[in-house]
Chain A
Amino acid sequence: GENVEQHPSTLSVQEGDSAVIKCTYSDSASNYFPWYKQELGKRPQLIIDIRSNVGEKKDQRIAVTLNKTAKHFSLHITETQPEDSAVYFCAASIYNFNKFYFGSGTKLNVKP
Chain B
Amino acid sequence: QLQLQESGPGLVRPSETLSLTCTVSGDSITRTNYYWGWIRQPPGKGLEWIGSISYSGITYSGSTHYNPSLKSRGTVSVDTSKNQFSLRLSSVTAADTAVYYCALEKYDGSGILPPFDLWGQGTLVSVSS
A and B bind:
no
